[in-house]
Structure 1
Amino acid sequence: MAIGIILGAAVWREGPSPTLRRRTLHAAALYQSGHITSLVLCGGVGQHPPSEAAVMQDILLGAGVPMDAMVLEDHSTTTGENIRFARDLIHETDVAIIEVVIITDWYHAPRAKLIARRAGLHATSSSPSLRGAKFWPQTKSALREIPAYIAYAIRLRT
């Protein structure tokens, strides 16, 4: 059995950021195709309420994912917290989890999997299509991940 962990992304004043929407709709497709059996929605309140997890829940409900397939983790504010808090929620259940699928963007997945392995999770990742994504924000995010990955790899961050 595989459980999906959707990593948070910004909520804008007008609603979900394109990144948050893409990740969440990708998770809905994975659920509907049977690749994952349930979801942990990660992300607290950032610059604009509500929490990232609450916004994900609304998107998933609109995409036909049932409420009982979701667990909200709405306190985290970093990738490390997303994964650690999700892990704790997963361990609270009686379900035997064989695999965790981290749902995030391609540039973020290597660092997220590194954090997950250190947190004791057997994790793979799945990333949404870049269809509709703008080149500059994707490039900027990818460039930001390089020093972040290095910092995590040499354990400057946890």
Structure 2
Amino acid sequence: MHVALVLGSANRPDGPSPNLLRRARHGAQLWHEGRVQALVGTGGVGGGTESEAEAIARVLMAEGVPDSAIRQEREARDTLENIRLSLPLLRELGATEVLIVSDAVHCPRAVMTARAHGLSARAAPVPFRGSHLRSQSWLALRECAAIPLYWWRLHR
């Protein structure tokens, strides 16, 4: 079974961030196109009142994905935990391939982490349209430091 792992992003008191909305909507599109049979939203409670995973599930359902196709991992605080804490749900679903749904600059680190945990993973990057240049620039700068750090953490 092909499963989309929709990685969380900021969830604020006033609702999901634009990045979280874009990721969830892209996951819904993958489901509607038949590229995945299930979706796992992952992410814990940040600044909002609900977890990132709950916000992802709410957006997926609003986009027409049935509740039966959605699972939630509600504790993760970073990319490593997104992957590690989602493993039991992915096993339960019988995932044979995982499509990592995140921003394009974040996908290489997320896929590297998923593969280090034994998953057959590919990137399903969210289209850039609708994103803010400032947000994407910040993500790109963060990844410059995070990729080598994660590689070291995963291979020591």
The TM-score range, normalised by the shorter chain, is: over 0.9
Q: Which residue matches 1:141?
A: 139
- Deviation for aligned residue 1:133: 1.1
TM-score normalised by L of structure 2: 0.95
CA displacement 1:33-52 (0-9 Å, x = unmatched): 00000011101101222100
Q: Which residue matches 1:12?
A: 12
Distance 2:69 2:82 in 1: 18
TM-score normalised by L of structure 1: 0.94
Aligned match of 1:106 in 104, 111, 124? 104
1:58 partner amino acid: R
Aligned match of 1:97 in 48, 72, 95? 95
Q: Which residue matches 1:23?
A: 23
Deviation above 4 Å: which 4+ runs of structure 1? none
Corresponding residue SS for 1:154: helix
CA displacement 1:115-157 (0-9 Å, x = unmatched): 1011110100111111121111111111111110011112279
Q: Which residue matches 1:152?
A: 150
Matches within 5 A, 1:81-92: 81-91=81-91
Distance 1:121 1:149 in 2: 18
Instruction: Check whether the contact 2:116–2:154 (CA below 8 A) recurs between aligned residues.
Output: no
Instruction: Check whether the contact 2:113–2:154 (CA below 8 A) recurs between aligned residues.
Output: no
Q: Which residue matches 2:117?
A: 119
Unmatched runs of 5 consecutive residues or more in structure 1: none
Q: Which residue matches 1:50?
A: 50
Distance 2:114 2:68 in 1: 24
CA displacement 1:4-53 (0-9 Å, x = unmatched): 10001011121100000000000000001000000111011012221001
- Deviation for aligned residue 1:104: 0.5
Distance 1:157 1:51 in 2: 30
1:114 partner amino acid: M
Q: 1:157 to 1:56 in 2, by over 3 A?
A: farther
Corresponding residue SS for 1:53: helix
Identity percentage over the alignment?
38
Instruction: Check whether the contact 1:6–1:27 (CA below 8 A) recurs between aligned residues.
Output: yes
Q: Which residue matches 2:60?
A: 60
Instruction: Check whether the contact 2:54–2:72 (CA below 8 A) recurs between aligned residues.
Output: yes
